[in-house]
Amino acid sequence: MHRFYRICRLDSRPFLNDWYALPSHNGSLEVLMKAAYANLEPHERIFCAWDRPSFTKEDKYAVEKLVPHVGGFKIGLEAMHMPIELGSSITVGHALRVHLQHFFPHLKIFWDIKGLDIENTMAGLAKSVSHLGVWGFTVHASARLESLKAAVRFAGKAQVIGVTVLTDTSDEECFDTYNEKVEDTVPHFAERFARAGGHALVSSPHELQLMNVGERQKLLRITPGVRLPGASTHDQKRVMTPGDAVAGGADFVVCGRDIFGSDDWVGNAERVAENIAAGQQAKARQYLAQRYI
């Protein structure tokens, strides 16, 4: 008897948000998902991080110009909770989400809510977010296994994205919190999250090579903490260029300051995409060298 799963449509990239039930003979939804995202254009790998506390009329025009140059938007906690104007019940994050969904329905929206709670509350969170129509939402992969399973069970069509160790965390800080170094904590959380049925994983680019074994190798890989060559790392501690992250196995990169660091948002996004393209070429050359030489 075939097992049926939700899986991304493979024949047309603009419809990667559409889901269909397809039979899987080997029972691996994740492998098919990885295949769906294998041939993205460089700019389609960019999640633009909207952690800004405003969404003005000028921002709307700028966003509309930026959309063709990125693959999606990550909407962060500050934007989710900041009122769009004094006394309003509408927040910046929801205003941006509704605007993007209305005018650019093909765009992926990544709701970075970072859920971490008991099983019943995680289930309720997943139910609530599933009604927003976003591409995916984040939970902390450090949560109890049953809490993670509850989030996956009630996520609807949304991708459940597990956050491992935040990119501003040093080895010493990680050991102080989890009693393990980053290189041990990230794969531990990743493997548990994969067993819970999660779809994608967030880690710094430095941990990407630790994802190539076990159940975790099936997960999509999303990497914040990327910076263009020569750019300031600010509060990030484990960083890499977007191109190097993609060459190392990232399916998507999250960029905020590299795009919003100056008024030329489109030009900045194009530079990120060019760096990713170079990384993809390096990855292809490495693959061919290993396979045929």
What's the pLDDT score for residue 237? 66
What's the pLDDT score for residue 17? 38
What's the pLDDT score for residue 188? 96
In the set 34, 114, 181, 283, the catalytic residue is 114
Decide: 271 and 228 in contact? Cβ < 8 Å.
yes
At 12 the three-state DSSP class reads coil
Active-site annotation holds for 114: yes
Residues 6+ apart with CB under 8 A from 53: 78, 79, 82, 92
What's the pLDDT score for residue 282? 79
Q: Where in the chain is the domain with CATH 3.20.20.70?
A: 40-292
Residues of the chain with pLDDT under 50: 1-27
CATH number for domain 40-292, candidates 3.40.250.10, 3.40.630.30, 3.40.630.10, 3.20.20.70: 3.20.20.70
Decide: 115 and 122 in contact? Cβ < 8 Å.
yes
What's the pLDDT score for residue 78? 94
Report pTM.
0.85
Q: Per-residue b/e over 213-232, b at no fewer than 16 CB within 10 Å? A: eebbbbbbbbbbbbbbeeee
What's the pLDDT score for residue 25? 40
What's the pLDDT score for residue 26? 46
What's the pLDDT score for residue 153? 97
The partner residues of 163 in beta bridges, in order of sequence, read 140, 202
The CA distance from 107 to 68, in Å, is: 9
What's the pLDDT score for residue 142? 97
